[in-house]
Amino acid sequence: MDSIYIVGGNRLTGEVKVSGSKNGTLAIMAGALLAKGPTILENVPRITDVHTMMEMLQELGVRVRELEPNTFEIDATDLQSHEAPYDLVKKMRASFCVAGPLIGRLGYAKVPMPGGCDIGARPVDFHVKGLQMLGAKVTMEHGYVEAKADKLKGATIYLDFPSAGATQHIMTAACLAEGVTRIENCAMEPEVNDLAEFLIAMGAKIKGGGTSTIEIEGVDEMRGARYRMIPDRMEAGTLAMAACITRGDVLLTDCSPEHCSAMFKKLQETGVKVIEGPDWARVIADSRPKATDIKTMPHPGFPTDMQQPFAALLAVADGTSVITENVYERRFKYVSELGRMGADIIQEGRTAIIKGVPKLTGAEVSSSDLRAGAALIIAALAADGRSEISGVEHIDRGYERIVDKLASLGAEIVRREAAPETSARMA
């Protein structure tokens, strides 16, 4: 397995392009199953989660090919299989969302229940409830969800929590249903609205994308479309925080500031200057960050995915910050790793109390999930000395060429085969 090696202390400056959205791409790729005909997706990030979803589609009989870097053609005309393979769903939860489109196209879906992960149990009960309310006969046994329906029928579905995945999943399932579906208390994440725009481009009839109520009027057939992925707001936030912790000055291009509003507002509270353009943002930090409090919430609140990277910045802030994680039940696994670098963080349940320290020190640390890995990279960029970050496979899931991007901004960062375990360390 590879590791990322960083020597902290360099100030990040310059310009960097933000890649296409991981979470937007995964939902849209599942939605592409609805169409007979080729769909062309542009600005697709080349990351392992996208590769896993491509494999999933190919297993289902979908033709997938990369026309040029970051541009993929997906043609689900000859969709054959209704069964998603366990080894792929196990790797990536988002692939569970192929169930709805499969029922819409084939009348049947057999998809493994995704397991939990390091940030929470992540059940799929809202997804299943939605499919059942649309008329699917759902059984759950032997670790699989099987859902059957000759034709799904529109329904009004209230979500107990504005789940992004459940909103996206039900929206795609409803596109080929008979009649009108209303999803109430639905998610308003930019990636949800972007999926609605994509489905409309394929011929769906959808109103209310980006609001808390979405209405879908079923159609008989959908066609392929050409569509460009929106910028990845989580990568934008990660790069912004990396710039800030090094007291740098970085221009983020192909970025959508309106999607990053909560993040940028909280960065400004720490004393960072954020200048916003239509499709760019410049972050300038020239002093130690000030402490601030974070409460993660569904969009437009502060995004849970940025909680971990922000904690790394607050670890060196002037003062004490409190982070409250309201979306997942256990998204603080990185705290102990930051502690190895000298951070002073106490975690109690869904709250982390961060007493800022003047400096972190480089250390050997391990990333447990995608955003925890981002937090460790951010911390290492400002730490005294050298850090080795293992578990890079988690980071590869959602960050395209992150090492190259940070190096281009002046970071002393390389990726190499992990140093072989020495016997001493083995002991």
**Active-site residues: which are they?**
117
124 near ligand EPZ, judged by CB under 6 A: yes
Which of 286, 290, 285, 329 is closest to 307 using CA atoms? 329
Long-range CB pairs of 363-366 (<8 Å, 24+ gap) are: 363/387, 363/388, 364/340, 364/388, 364/390, 365/337, 365/338, 365/340, 365/341, 365/389, 365/390, 366/337, 366/390, 366/391
Report d(CA 190, CA 192) in Å as an integer. Answer: 5
Instruction: Using the rule CB under 6 A, give the single segment among 20-28, 237-245, 310-318, 411-419 that binds ligand EPZ.
Output: 20-28
Sole residue written with tokens 């954020």: 274
Segment near ligand EPZ (CB under 6 A); pick from 132-140, 159-167, 198-206, 399-407: 159-167
Which of 30, 34, 149, 164 touches ligand EPZ (CB under 6 A)?
Answer: 164
Q: Which of 75, 305, 337, 400 binds ligand EPZ (CB under 6 A)?
A: 305
Pairing of strands 205-207, 213-217: antiparallel
With contact defined as beta carbons under 8 Å apart, do 230 and 21 qualify? yes
**310 touching ligand EPZ, by CB under 6 A:** no
Other C-beta atoms closer than 10 Å to the C-beta of 347 total 19
Residues 238 to 297: which contact ligand EPZ by CB under 6 A?
Answer: none
Nearer to ligand EPZ, 366 or 367 (CB): 367
Tokens of residue 74, six digits: 């997906």
User: Residue 425 belongs to what H/E stretch?
Assistant: helix 423-426
User: Residue 84 belongs to what H/E stretch?
Assistant: none
Among 37, 85, 120, 319, interactor with ligand EPZ by CB under 6 A: 120
Residue 327 interacting with ligand EPZ (CB under 6 A):
yes
Site string for ligand EPZ, 76-105 (x = CB under 6 A): -----------------xx-----------
Among residues 198, 227, 280, 328, which is the contact residue for ligand EPZ, using CB under 6 A? 328
Residue (316 or 375) nearer to ligand EPZ, CB:
375
Contact region with ligand EPZ (CB under 6 A), list: 21-29, 63-71, 132-140, 173-181: 21-29
Q: Which residues bind ligand EPZ (CB under 6 A)?
A: 22-23, 26, 93-94, 120, 122-127, 161, 163-166, 187, 189, 234, 304-305, 327-328, 370-371, 398
